[in-house]
Each structure stands twice: as structure tokens, then as C-alpha cells.
């Protein structure tokens, strides 16, 4: 098939200080298309505050530009990468400390919603970040994003926003403590996330390095397989509320067995 791959690398590096020479040398050997690194600690104030710093590095064979987002109070960065004459992808990375207030997660989701409002619905987006959700597993199935385990208020903020924008999570590699702290969200259909065996810098034990492979079709005339979701952003919620309020829920399932009640309920959810 007429496909080509983008190869990416993600890692929480827990400080690039004293590691830059190794990083530069290993980049030349591995030839990735893009890198996403968190907790770089390159600024002195980040070292003093106990961490932080995010960076995206794109191979210079691609044209890319920094996206100037209107939310600058948290650790996140986004770039628009031009793959070819017709295809582009937004790359984003973020670092959210475990003890962050809910406002940080809200700012992050506001940023994602802003990106989708600025670019059209066909825009590809890939977000790799350290979200520090312990005891929570984000995954995806044929209905979209799913959660298992701890559902804190912060988890729900991310889940609600990313579900609306049809983003799925593809990292299933647990660290040695049984958690998945680094999450890979995207609306790309052809993507794989694997444990990377060729390290660019020394490993940070809670954050296994990840190799991200994205597949794209070269030819515009091919039929590209897509996932089908409902576009909840365009729902008329006022009309939905009016319709639901008109239903007599007390009598709706009277004198029905379970199968009949389920069938009746489904007739009200096929809008």
C-alpha cells in the first residue's frame, strides 16, 4: 500500500543537564523524525522548583512552525509539522506535576479545544505528555476513549475534553511500579507505541522511553480507513434537554422485561 511512516521518540528525561552531548550524538545515529522530551530542567528556575521544561525537536527535512497558543501558564508546547504538500500534523507535549491544581488541567484542555477551533476537524494531532495519573489507565476501543481505575477530578477533566475531540490514548506500557504516567493522545488511526530499546539518554525509571510510529498515506486518491464518531461539539444541547424533559421516565419502562426496556431506551439514544 502507498504508506510512509513517521518515527518519533518520547521520554521524560529528568534533566538534560550533563546529558546534551549524549543526546546530540544519539540523535544522529537514530534519525528520528521528531522528539518530544519532558522535564528537561534546562532553565535554572526549573531546577530550583524541582522539575519542568518541555521541548519538541523536528528533523530539519520537515517544515514546522511553533504554534503561539493563548495559554502560557503551564508546561506545554505545540508545533505544526508539514509532512508533505497536503498533510500536516500538530505535535504537542506537556508536563503536569502530580500535585497540580485543577486549573492546570483546565488550562491544558482549553488549549486543546482552542487548537481544534483554530484548525479544521480533519487536522491530525498527536500529544505526548507526562500527566502523572497514578492508578489510572486510559485506553481506547471502537467507541472511543475509556478509563479504568482511579477517576479523580483531574482525570475526568482530561477525559471529558479529549473524548469530545475524539482523541484516543495508545500507550499501554507500564513502568516498574505498575503505572502509566506518560500518555499518547491522538486522532490518528494508524499509530503504534512501543517500548524504545535504543535510549537517547539514560532512563528515568518511572518513565519508560517510547517509540511512536505514525503511518500516513502518500496518495490522495486512496480510500483511507477512518473511525466514525458522533460530533458532540455540534449538538444542539438546548433541544436535547427539552426532548429529555418531555419524557415520562416514571412510566417509560413500566410492565417491560429487561430486553424490552433496553430496546425502548435505545430508541431515545439514537439522535
Question: When comparing pLDDT for 121 and 223, which is higher?
Answer: 121
| More confident: 203 or 78 | 78
More confident residue, 65 or 254: 65
pLDDT exceeds cutoff 70 at 229: no
pLDDT at res. 38: 96
Domain ranges of the chain: 3-217, 232-268
Measure the CA–CA gap between 76 and 93, rounded to whole angstroms. Answer: 6
Confidence label for 226 from pLDDT (cuts 50, 70 and 90): low
Burial code (b: 16+ CB inside 10 Å, e: under 16) for 123-148 equals ebbbbbbbbbbeebbbebeeeebebe
Computed over every residue of the chain, the mean pLDDT equals 88
Please determine, for residue 228, whether its predicted confidence score (pLDDT) is greater than 60.
no
The string of pLDDT tens digits covering residues 1-46 is: 567 899 999 999 999 988 988 999 999 888 899 999 999 998 766 5
181-198 average pLDDT score: 95
Edge-to-edge strand ranges of the sheet holding 88-95: 63-66, 75-82, 88-95, 124-130, 182-186, 168-169
> pLDDT, tens digit, for every residue of 131-142?
999 999 999 887
So what's the pLDDT on residue 232? 64
Above 80 in pLDDT, residue 181?
Answer: yes
- The pLDDT confidence band at residue 222, using thresholds 50, 70 and 90, is very low
C-alpha dihedral (132, 133, 137, 139), degrees to nearest 10: -60
The fold of the 3-217 domain, in CATH, is: Deoxyribonuclease I; Chain A (3.60.10)
In a 10 Å sphere around its CB, with 0-12 CB exposed, 13-18 middle and 19+ buried, how is residue 17 labelled?
exposed
User: All 3 cell numbers of residue 68?
Assistant: 503561539
Residue 216 has pLDDT above 80, yes or no: yes
pTM: 0.81
CA distances from 148 to 77, 133, 135 (A): 28, 11, 8
Tens-place pLDDT, residues 120-172: 767 799 999 999 999 999 998 877 899 999 999 999 999 999 999 999 999 99
What spatial distance separates the first Cα and last Cα of the chain, rounded to whole Å?
A: 37
Q: What is the pLDDT of residues 45-104, one digit of tens each?
A: 655 565 789 999 999 999 999 999 998 889 999 999 999 888 999 999 999 999 999 999
Instruction: Please state, in angstroms and rounded to a whole number, the distance separating the CA atoms of residues 19 and 21.
Output: 6
Amino acid at each position: 500500500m502507498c504508506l510512509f511512516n513517521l518515527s518519533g521518540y518520547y521520554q521524560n528525561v529528568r534533566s538534560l543537564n550533563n546529558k546534551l552531548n549524549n543526546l546530540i550524538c544519539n540523535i544522529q545515529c537514530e534519525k528520528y523524525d521528531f522528539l518530544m522530551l519532558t522535564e528537561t530542567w534546562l532553565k535554572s528556575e526549573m531546577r530550583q522548583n524541582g522539575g519542568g521544561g518541555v521541548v519538541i525537536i523536528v528533523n530539519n527535512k520537515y517544515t514546522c512552525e511553533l504554534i503561539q497558543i493563548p495559554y502560557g501558564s503551564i508546561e506545554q508546547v505545540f508545533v505544526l509539522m508539514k509532512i508533505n504538500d497536503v498533510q500536516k500534523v500538530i505535535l504537542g507535549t506537556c508536563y503536569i506535576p502530580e500535585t497540580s491544581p485543577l486549573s492546570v488541567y483546565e488550562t491544558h484542555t482549553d488549549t486543546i479545544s482552542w487548537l481544534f477551533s483554530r484548525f479544521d476537524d480533519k487536522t491530525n494531532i498527536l500529544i505526548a505528555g507526562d500527566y502523572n495519573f497514578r492508578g489510572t489507565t486510559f485506553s481506547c476501543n471502537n467507541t472511543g476513549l475509556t478509563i479504568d481505575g482511579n477517576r479523580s477530578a483531574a482525570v475526568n477533566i482530561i477525559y471529558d475534553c479529549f473524548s469530545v475531540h475524539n482523541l484516543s490514548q495508545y500507550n499501554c506500557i507500564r513502568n516498574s511500579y505498575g503505572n502509566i504516567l506518560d500518555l499518547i493522545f491522538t486522532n490518528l488511526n494508524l499509530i503504534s507505541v512501543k517500548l524504545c530499546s535504543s535510549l537517547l539518554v539514560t532512563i528515568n525509571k518511572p518513565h519508560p522511553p517510547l517509540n511512536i510510529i505514525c503511518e500516513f498515506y502518500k496518495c490522495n486518491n486512496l480510500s483511507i480507513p477512518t473511525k466514525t464518531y458522533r460530533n458532540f461539539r455540534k449538538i444542539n444541547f438546548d433541544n436535547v434537554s427539552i426532548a429529555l424533559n418531555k419524557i415520562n421516565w416514571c412510566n417509560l419502562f413500566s410492565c417491560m422485561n429487561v430486553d424490552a426496556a433496553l430496546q425502548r431506551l435505545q430508541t431515545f439514544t439514537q439522535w
